[in-house]
Amino acid sequence: MADQLRYDVVNETYTPNIYRLQQESVVFDRAYCASPLCVPARGSFFSGTYPNVNGSLINPWEPQEAEHGKVRPGTTNLYQLMEDEWDSWHTGKQHFYMDDIQASASKTHWHTLEGNYDAYLKANGKRHPGGPSFKGGVPEMAFGKVTRRKRYSIPKTGCFEEGLDYFYDGYITRTTIDAIRQRDPNKPLLVNAMFVAPHPPLDIPEPWYSMYKDAELPENVGQWAKSQSPLQLYNLPGIIGGRYSREDWQRIWPVYLGLVTLLDHCVGQIVDELKQQGIYDDTLLVFTSDHGEMLGSHCLYQKMCMYEESVKTPLLFKFPSHFGVEPKHLDEPVSAVDVLPTLCDYLGIAEGDAAFSGVSLLKAMQGEPIEQRDLYIQFDGNGSRSNFQRCVLRGEFKLIVDLFKDELFLELYDVVHDPQEQSNLAFGEPYREQIEDMLSGLRQHMENTNDLLCLSDDAYEQFIQMYASFHA
């Protein structure tokens, strides 16, 4: 799993190893996270349930709201389903927050960044990537009521002189390869390798720092669309992203792309190790990202919003050669909550009483059509509950509900024909029935999953009354 990887930079140029992996895989071209934020995205991925269902809504940086960052005790998850029978390892970033997940009773080998990496750097006299100058001040609400000053990553770039061996992802790659080499040969092997790249800080080692001198930016970078939600200016992506021009992003993008290629290099090393160990052909390999990165698109930075660059993720399944699934691309919308049900289906693991939000994609990968259904995404704030967004995907349409204090803004996009989301259809009378129906489905989903928010029956009318003149 990558962290903050844009789906549109996974290609032969920037990720040649992942691209080769795609040629052997079933690739889902329209895969989405369940929340565009690290902790709740992983809570959903590892439990197969939406954030409202498992309870992990935010990054738990605010102590008084930390309960909203944790997956509820007793939630079925990938580790506990597999670690009794499998030799289970976790390497890298650990943002699956659940009480006792790393308890002494756990049979998973936890080689996390937290603690281990710090000690490694200290023992070798090396500095951390980034630092105070790679962060900037932003306002953040707590409890949806109280504003506080916080410091979060900004798109500053730098060259990490310590080299790959002491960079986050070099360390993660080495511990992942160690896990493969140290595996118990009497058990099947499960490795969850959680990379940091290409998440900021954009303080990266050579040769990747200088690898790309220029980049062709998507048209929507540094461009505020006519009818995108102004409420984003109260949220971190708009507060920070609005400080940078398209010319600024032209300097930033090459370093981000270098970090993407660094990630690809690490993936290639792990694939090579699997081949050297003679187990690659017997391995089911899943590659994805927790969420995406705006990187200037819509004048926004980081994630925490519902645009394609933030919520759309790469997702591929490379099956063992004997399984007989042909490599292909599938364009039906799927969710991160579908991955665990798929693994359980493929491996014949009984999920017990688990009520997955997602569905198995195995039959779809074997050639059967995917049943049409709505997919849901939610955002409840970064380090505390503050800015709220809800999203429903139905076929080619995406409806975004942006909420801040007493305001509500709607966006409807045809993401198949308008992938850069430049034409907000929410103001058009021809789409009123479509919007009302999607709002009804979203409202029912929120009620069924015990959402802490509620969506009024007249949400569309509220929006039109507030913003019709703004659009005109």
Task: Report yes or no on 454 lying in a domain.
Answer: no
β-pairing verdict for 109-112 and 87-92 = parallel
What is the pLDDT at residue 472? 59
169 burial level (CB within 10 Å; 0-12, 13-18, 19+): buried
Separation of alpha carbons 389 and 58, rounded Å: 12
Task: Report yes or no on 328 lying in a domain.
Answer: yes
Task: Report yes or no on 313 lying in a domain.
Answer: yes
What is the pLDDT at residue 142? 81
What is the pLDDT at residue 28? 98
Task: Report yes or no on 392 lying in a domain.
Answer: no
Per-residue pLDDT band at 197 (split at 50, 70, 90): very high
- In the sheet with 315-318, reading across from the earlier edge strand, the strands are 285-288, 315-318, 26-28, 328-330
Per-residue pLDDT tens digits for 45-55? 999 999 999 99
Residues 420 and 218 sit within 8 Å (Cβ to Cβ):
yes
Task: Report yes or no on 102 lying in a domain.
Answer: yes
Task: Report yes or no on 425 lying in a domain.
Answer: no
Least trusted range by pLDDT, from 6-15, 82-91, 201-210, 343-352: 343-352
The values of phi and psi at residue 323, to 5°, are -75, -30
Q: Give the number of other CB atoms < 10 A from CB of residue 196.
A: 22
How many separate domains does the chain show? 1
Q: State the DSSP string of 140-190.
A: EEETTTEEEEEEEE---EEE-TT-GGGSHHHHHHHHHHHHHHT--TTS-EE
Per-residue pLDDT tens digits for 51-84? 999 999 999 988 888 899 999 998 999 999 999 9
CA 37 to chain centre: 6
Is the pLDDT at 123 greater than 90? The verdict is: yes
Arithmetic mean of pLDDT over the chain = 95
Cα-based distances in Å from 242 to 215, 301, 375, 434: 20, 8, 30, 32
Per-residue pLDDT band at 99 (split at 50, 70, 90): confident
* Domain CATH number, residue 291: 3.40.720.10
Closest Cα to residue 45, out of 274, 396, 264, 291?
Answer: 291
Degrees to nearest 5, angle at CA 214 with 210 and 216: 140
Separation of alpha carbons 325 and 312, rounded Å: 24
β-pairing verdict for 87-92 and 189-194 = parallel
Is the pLDDT at 369 greater than 60? The verdict is: yes
Is the pLDDT at 380 greater than 70? The verdict is: yes
Is the pLDDT at 394 greater than 90? The verdict is: yes
The values of phi and psi at residue 295, to 5°, are 50, 45
Separation of alpha carbons 168 and 178, rounded Å: 16
- Whats the size of the chain, residue-wise? 472
Instruction: Write the CB contacts of 260 (distance below 8 Å, at least 6 apart in sequence).
Output: 5, 6, 9, 10, 14, 15, 197, 198
Per-residue pLDDT tens digits for 329-351? 999 999 999 999 999 999 998 77
Is the pLDDT at 352 greater than 90? The verdict is: no
Residues 33 and 68 sit within 8 Å (Cβ to Cβ):
no
As a whole-number percent, the residues of the chain with pLDDT over 90 amount to 88
Is the pLDDT at 353 greater than 60? The verdict is: no
Per-residue pLDDT band at 168 (split at 50, 70, 90): very high
Mean pLDDT of 228-242: 95
Mean pLDDT of 383-404: 95
Closest Cα to residue 95, out of 196, 198, 235, 202?
Answer: 196
What is the pLDDT at residue 350? 79
Which residues span the domain enclosing 194?
7-373
The values of phi and psi at residue 326, to 5°, are -75, 140
Task: Report yes or no on 404 lying in a domain.
Answer: no
Which DSSP category does 369 fall into? Answer: P
What is the pLDDT at residue 11? 97
Task: Report yes or no on 227 lying in a domain.
Answer: yes
Is the pLDDT at 416 greater than 70? The verdict is: yes
The whole-model pTM stands at 0.96
Q: Which tokens is 449 given? A: 């999953």
